[in-house]
Amino acid sequence: MSDGFVDRRQVGRRFSRVAASYDRADFFAREIDRRMQERLDYVKVEPGRILDLGCSRGGSFAGLAARYPAAELLGIDISPAMLQAGLPVRPGWQRWLNLGRQNGVQRLAGDAAKLPLNSQSTAVVWSNLLLHWLDDPLPALAEVYRVLEVGGLLMFSTLGPDSLKELRSAFADGYAHTQRFIDMHDLGDMLVACGFADPVMDMEVLTLTYDSFDEMLGELRAAGSGCAMKARRHGLTGRQAWAGARDAYERLRSNGKLPATFEVVYGHAWKAAPKQTADGRAIIRFDAPRRK
């Protein structure tokens, strides 16, 4: 998965274009965030620092800050426009140009595969609906492992292979029309390969319904969720291709509505103490004897 399937610049461009209005179109991301936050009810952790990786405008900040008021919050996103759009606007002031610390949150523009953080500097890494935008999640997961302190927690959501299956099947032109979504078992294998201990993976299928094909496409575009694969059509899609796709999708109408499937994958894993040194030598730990 390292041949370069995803157009990284296109991902950044799409989200930058919708940054100013993203808070009116991110209902799906907010719903998944809510479901992820509920999962924290079953996790015991008192983090000193939390990294929200792929934070967009910072939709998860309020919930994380309320749950962990003593924690330092840090958000990293590929799109400076998204980070900028999430900053508060004060009456009589222009929006802050410095993407530094505002309202107790540090915001940084950065690459998930090259995090600008020291090793073992973060207690929790939180990532909502980021991984399917990456060409290969493995380098990003390895970076998460690096920056997590021993005993630290990774919690993430992403989309699985059945997501937008109706849209993929509606086109017959040979081009990509959705992202490439990775199976949750493959993601679990990646976590193990990076050194995470006992990863837990699960999924659920959510189906959104729409009155029309164009309504669905408009909602995806407003959320920055258009296809950013290199195999997408780079020119304009012809009328005949659009007509064929609309007709194919229309055949899926049920109870007056058109469906759009989203396979939501959830995962969490802990960074355990290393079992070997960087050069491959085994680490053997001896517990000190208890004093009577």
pLDDT tens-digit readout, 161-175: 999 999 999 998 889
| β-bridge mates for residue 269, sequence order | 154
What does the pLDDT average to over 108-117? 96
State mean pLDDT over 277-282.
59
Query: In this structure, is residue 228 part of a structural domain?
Result: yes
Is residue 101, in this structure, part of any structural domain at all?
Answer: yes
| 16 within a domain of the structure (yes/no) | yes
The domain tally of the chain equals 1
Residue 2 is assigned to a structural domain of this protein: no
Pairing of β 258-271 and β 148-159: antiparallel
Q: Are 130 and 240 in contact (CB under 8 A)?
A: no
pLDDT attached to residue 92 = 41
AA identity, residue 268: H
Report the mean per-residue pLDDT for the chain: 89
pLDDT of the residue at 238: 80
Q: For the chain, where are the alpha helices, taking DSSP H only? A: 8-17, 27-39, 61-67, 80-85, 137-147, 165-170, 184-194, 213-222, 239-250
Asked if residue 286 belongs to a domain, the reply is no
Inform me whether the pLDDT recorded for 279 exceeds 90: no
Is 161 within the bounds of a domain? Answer: yes
Whether 282 maps to a domain, the answer reads: no
Domain that holds residue 28: 8-271
3 occurs within a structural domain? no
Question: CATH number of the domain that 128 lies in?
Answer: 3.40.50.150
Residues 58-93: tens digit of each pLDDT? 999 999 999 999 999 999 999 999 999 998 754 443
In the block, residue with structure tokens 């849209």 = 167
CA distance 191 to 204: 20
The owner of tokens 């370069």 is: 4
Q: Is 195 exposed, middle or buried (0-12, 13-18, 19+ CB in 10 A)?
A: middle
Amino acid 123: pLDDT: 98
Number of Cβ atoms within 10 Å of the Cβ of 251: 9
β-pair type (258-271, 122-128): unpaired
Q: What is the pLDDT of residue 70?
A: 94
